[in-house]
Amino acid sequence: MHFLGTCLATIAALGLVRAARVELDWVVGYTTANPDGLFERQVIGINGEWPPKQVEATLNDVLVINIHNELNEPTALHAHGMFQNNTNYMDGPSMVTQCPIPAGMNFTYEFTITQTGTYWMHSHYGGQYADGFKMALILHNPAEPYKYDEDITVPISDWYHDQSGNNLKIFMNENNPTGAEPVPESGLIMDNVNSSLTFVPGKTYRLRLINMSAFSMFYFSIDGHDMDVIETDGIYTQRTTVKSLYLTAAQRISVLVTAKNATNLNYYMHADMNTDMFDTISDSLQTNLTAPIYYDKSVTEFAPSEDVGMGSDFDDIVIPPLEVMAAVPAEQQLNLTFEFQVYTDGINRGAFNNIPYIAPKVPILNTLMTMGNLSHEVDVYGRHSVPYILDHLNMIEVILNNADSGDHPFHLHGHVFQIVARGPGIYDGTNENITWYLDNPNRRDTVAVPAESFTIIRFRADNPGIWIFHCHIEWHLETGLAAIFVEAPDIAQQRMTLPQAFNDLCEAGNIPYSGNAAGKQGLDLKGAPSGVDILIDGFTASGKGAMAGCILSALLGIGAIVWFAHSDPEARGREIIAAKMREEQED
Ligand SMILES: *[C@@H]1O[C@H](CO)[C@@H](O)[C@H](O)[C@H]1NC(C)=O
Ligand SMILES: *[C@@H]1O[C@H](CO)[C@@H](O)[C@H](O)[C@H]1NC(C)=O
Ligand SMILES: *[C@@H]1O[C@H](CO)[C@@H](O)[C@H](O)[C@H]1NC(C)=O
Ligand SMILES: *[C@@H]1O[C@H](CO)[C@@H](O)[C@H](O)[C@H]1NC(C)=O
Ligand SMILES: *[C@@H]1O[C@H](CO)[C@@H](O)[C@H](O)[C@H]1NC(C)=O
Ligand SMILES: *[C@@H]1O[C@H](CO)[C@@H](O)[C@H](O)[C@H]1NC(C)=O
Ligand SMILES: *[C@@H]1O[C@H](CO)[C@@H](O)[C@H](O)[C@H]1NC(C)=O
Ligand SMILES: *[C@@H]1O[C@H](CO)[C@@H](O)[C@H](O)[C@H]1NC(C)=O
Ligand SMILES: *[C@@H]1O[C@H](CO)[C@@H](O)[C@H](O)[C@H]1NC(C)=O
Ligand SMILES: [Cu+2]
């Protein structure tokens, strides 16, 4: 009896009592939408609908998504923030953990929900999520620590009129040596420009704010109301009152907002885009978005604006998690410095340590699973997979040095990390101006690294597999601002077996699914991506982009650009350097 009681208590504590199978059938296809009222465009919808419905499940449920790809190109689905512990192959990024799902094919994602909080799902193939293939993923907690009356998801996103494929062609192009990003045409609160909420006096609302932008960062506030932060990226925080907050692409924050008792006024929510990174802003772009919160729709008066936009003093690094976890010393350190430069293929690329990520010939997880004991050799993954081997259970420290003049949001798949330190400049181990956050550092899965500064994060390598670490500005990821963490490859091989369905995907798409980054055995890497290198070394970091831009415009003048577009990258690089030397001799 006593034993049974203990047993039941344990089962309840582990939350094993309730477990449903949440099965969704999705036809992923094209439809049209006009959420900003300015332009009807083709979007990617689910079962003919856009915006796609949010997905909801409860801790311990099994989430099953049957996809039929009706697009005319491949696709792949990532559930952002899921640990996918022992189901690494369900993580989704194309050519990282799987071959993409070819046009016309069906595929099923299936994994167990082991986390709670606010997440989202989006395509992890090309720039597809900017075309609308994204939705909230809300994971309910049967033992919710905070009390509230209503639960409302508030996605905020930028909106482009052009297809992401076109935007990428213009962006990743020799004619864009400065790397000017596509600037959105609109911003949307709750997938529209006309959204509103209604508050009932006395009720407490949980607003789950999700930044689903491809590019823009937003500052969020509600006139006349405090917000109590209770969650950052699926991690409960201590209740922390703020007047405004910001979210970089892919971040989520839940706030509790208590409605007022009086109904004589209505209020605005504000979401102001951070326009620092926009090279051009069209006159029609509404950068300060608003959506009304009505107490009484018959009242026409709104409370005065308290919006401070980019003047917000919000800083997520100081928000302590509810479950206290002190930082512990690192056992393995990675030093990842990134900036944007023109590479030998003529393209302005973001990269860690001057090596842009370029997808290998074989999905990286397949390389891990099929290379036997060579899976521990960093070389088999290919130089342009930007691989780092992490030893099992090590505390990993990643130094993120931002040598660029813009802020960048970095997301690690399969983990949350602690944000343990921050300071200006590049971290070389001797920096005097550094602030440590060691007692109970904020934990989340996406961190903004401000311009020309460093941020240090730590996490435990307790999830064997292949995890991509990348800038969540969709355009920057495409240029190569990503690295691959190969975590405990030997343990991953022991724990996992790739389901046959994944090999079938590769087979259907004519993609090799075993061997190294070149699709070969052993350490013969010939044929793996190569030859994309930093154009000219020896300039100061700030001068590089500008100098490359000058060289390219000079060459453009002599009509070399056409030839460039068809040449191989190594030859192209040599030619650019030769042209530069000729130019210097002429001067
Ligand atoms: C927003 O509301 C205005 C005014 O009612 C309307 O003219 C416009 O078409 C609406 N826009 C969208 C995208 O629904
Ligand atoms: C693929 O999915 C579609 C839509 O759900 C379904 O009609 C079709 O039968 C499936 N095809 C196969 C081969 O399972
Ligand atoms: C979303 O993230 C992007 C990119 O970091 C940022 O520019 C935008 O302001 C964010 N939006 C919100 C509402 O925080
Ligand atoms: C609303 O009224 C209730 C009951 O009088 C009171 O307890 C509560 O503090 C009031 N709330 C606000 C936000 O003023
Ligand atoms: C947006 O709002 C902020 C804060 O009120 C203000 O400083 C800024 O000028 C506004 N921007 C535009 C384009 O209206
Ligand atoms: C790797 O495995 C092969 C055969 O399975 C074995 O001959 C070789 O000694 C192993 N190498 C290492 C470094 O363990
Ligand atoms: C330290 O760096 C912060 C920015 O990260 C800056 O605001 C502050 O002025 C710096 N302090 C000193 C003493 O340089
Ligand atoms: C990290 O790399 C950068 C760029 O090479 C270098 O300046 C810095 O000193 C390195 N930091 C550490 C801690 O090794
Ligand atoms: C993964 O599961 C193992 C137990 O199988 C656990 O020790 C580890 O902490 C888990 N990691 C994550 C990130 O959930
Ligand atoms: Cu970026």
Q: For residue 6, with 0-12 CB atoms within 10 Å meaning exposed, 13-18 middle and 19 or more buried, which class applies?
A: exposed
- Which helix (H) or strand (E) segment holds residue 274: the answer is strand 267-274
* Residues ≥6 apart with Cβ < 8 Å to 279: 178, 180, 181, 183
Pocket (CB within 6 angstroms of ligand 1): 34-37, 192-194
208/118 Cα distance (integer angstroms)? 7
Q: Which atom of ligand 3 is nearest to the CA of 211?
A: 1
89/109 Cα distance (integer angstroms)? 9
Pocket (CB within 6 angstroms of ligand 4): 202, 258, 260-261
- Report which of 233, 219, 256 is spatially closest to residue 137, judged by C-alpha positions: 233
484/88 Cα distance (integer angstroms)? 13
- Report which of 523, 526, 502, 529 is spatially closest to residue 371, judged by C-alpha positions: 523
pLDDT, position 544: 40
64/367 Cα distance (integer angstroms)? 26
| C-alpha dihedral, 89 to 91 to 92 to 94, nearest 10° | -70
* Distance in Å, CA 354 to ligand 8 centroid: 13
SS (H, E, C) 316-339: HHHCCECCCCCCCCCCEEEEEEEE
Q: Which pair of tokens denotes residue 420?
A: 């343990």
Pocket (CB within 6 angstroms of ligand 9): 83, 85, 415, 462-463
Task: Give the closest ligand to the alpha carbon of residue 422.
Answer: 7
408/406 Cα distance (integer angstroms)? 6
Bridge partners, 465 (sequence order): 487
Any ligand 7 atom below 6 A from CB of 424? yes
* Distance in Å, CA 248 to ligand 3 centroid: 4
The Cα-based distances of 317 to 219, 313, 449 in angstroms read 16, 12, 11
Compute CA 561 distance to the chain's CA centroid, rounded to the nearest angstrom: 33
* Distance in Å, CA 271 to ligand 5 centroid: 10
For residue 371, give the amino acid letter.
Answer: M
Any ligand 3 atom below 6 A from CB of 213? yes
pLDDT, position 16: 52
pLDDT, position 273: 87
Query: Can you tell me whether residue 465 is helix, strand or coil?
Result: strand
- Report which of 397, 448, 424, 438 is spatially closest to residue 253, judged by C-alpha positions: 448
35/186 Cα distance (integer angstroms)? 9
Ligand 5, pocket-test mutation among 219, 220, 307, most atoms within 8 A of CB: 307
Q: Which atom of ligand 4 is nearest to the CA of 258?
A: 13
Residue owning the nearest CA to atom 7 of ligand 5: 309
Question: Is residue 109 within 8 Å of 77, Cβ to Cβ?
Answer: yes
**Residues 404-421: b if buried by 16+ CB within 10 A, e if exposed:** bebbbbbbbbbbbbbbbb
* Distance in Å, CA 514 to ligand 10 centroid: 31
427/441 Cα distance (integer angstroms)? 19
* Distance in Å, CA 192 to ligand 1 centroid: 9
Question: Is residue 38 within 8 Å of 186, Cβ to Cβ?
Answer: yes
pLDDT, position 158: 86
Any ligand 3 atom below 6 A from CB of 98? no
152/143 Cα distance (integer angstroms)? 19
Spelled out in words, what is the top-level CATH class assigned to the domain 1-144?
A: mainly beta
* Distance in Å, CA 553 to ligand 10 centroid: 25
Query: Can you tell me whether residue 168 is helix, strand or coil?
Result: helix
- Report which of 419, 388, 425 is spatially closest to residue 403, judged by C-alpha positions: 425
Question: Is residue 495 within 8 Å of 364, Cβ to Cβ?
Answer: no
Any ligand 7 atom below 6 A from CB of 433? yes
Q: Please compute, for residue 148, the number of CA atoms within 13 A of its CA located in the half-sphere on the CB side.
A: 24
- Residue ranges in the chain whose pLDDT is less than 50: 1-13, 15, 538-587
* Distance in Å, CA 393 to ligand 9 centroid: 10
CATH topology for the 146-321 domain: Immunoglobulin-like (2.60.40)
Maximum pairwise Cα distance, the chain: 94
The Cα-based distances of 484 to 96, 212, 264, 372 in angstroms read 8, 23, 55, 19
238/231 Cα distance (integer angstroms)? 8
Task: Give the closest ligand to the alpha carbon of residue 336.
Answer: 8
* Distance in Å, CA 251 to ligand 3 centroid: 8
* Distance in Å, CA 6 to ligand 9 centroid: 24
Any ligand 7 atom below 6 A from CB of 224? no
The DSSP 8-state label assigned to residue 233 in this structure reads T
Q: Which pair of tokens denotes residue 290?
A: 């608003």
Strands 204-211 and 150-159: parallel
pLDDT, position 164: 87
* Distance in Å, CA 411 to ligand 7 centroid: 25
Bridge partners, 534 (sequence order): 343
Q: Which atom of ligand 2 is nearest to the CA of 105?
A: 1
Ligand 1, pocket-test mutation among 193, 194, 196, most atoms within 8 A of CB: 194
- Report which of 303, 307, 243 is spatially closest to residue 273, judged by C-alpha positions: 307
Residue owning the nearest CA to atom 9 of ligand 9: 462
Bridge partners, 45 (sequence order): 29
* Distance in Å, CA 308 to ligand 5 centroid: 8
Q: Which atom of ligand 1 is nearest to the CA of 36?
A: 13
Residue owning the nearest CA to atom 7 of ligand 4: 202
Task: Give the closest ligand to the alpha carbon of residue 194.
Answer: 1
For residue 224, give the amino acid letter.
Answer: G
pLDDT digits (tens, 9 = 90+) for 525-538: 999 999 999 986 54
pLDDT digits (tens, 9 = 90+) for 182-206: 888 888 889 888 999 999 999 999 9
- Report which of 137, 141, 91 is spatially closest to residue 116, judged by C-alpha positions: 141
The predicted model scores a pTM of 0.88
* Distance in Å, CA 287 to ligand 5 centroid: 8
The beta-strand segments (E) located in 3-125 are: 21-33, 41-46, 55-58, 62-69, 77-80, 106-112, 117-123
Pocket (CB within 6 angstroms of ligand 8): 335, 337, 399, 401, 426-429
Strands 77-80 and 41-46: unpaired
pLDDT, position 537: 53
Give the number of residues written for the chain.
587
Query: Can you tell me whether residue 480 is helix, strand or coil?
Result: coil
* Distance in Å, CA 524 to ligand 6 centroid: 17
For residue 483, give the amino acid letter.
Answer: A
167/354 Cα distance (integer angstroms)? 24
- Report which of 350, 419, 421, 332 is spatially closest to residue 386, judged by C-alpha positions: 350
Helices (H), 363-471: 364-370
Q: Where in the chain is the domain with CATH 2.60.40.420?
A: 1-144, 146-321, 332-508
Cis peptide before 320 (omega within 30 of 0): no
Residue owning the nearest CA to atom 9 of ligand 8: 428
DSSP string, 342-364: EBTTS-EEEEETTB-----SS-H
Spelled out in words, what is the top-level CATH class assigned to the domain 332-508?
A: mainly beta
Ligand 2, pocket-test mutation among 65, 68, 101, 504, most atoms within 8 A of CB: 68
Q: Which residue in the block uniquely carries the two structure tokens 């590769």?
A: 506
Q: Which atom of ligand 2 is nearest to the CA of 106?
A: 1
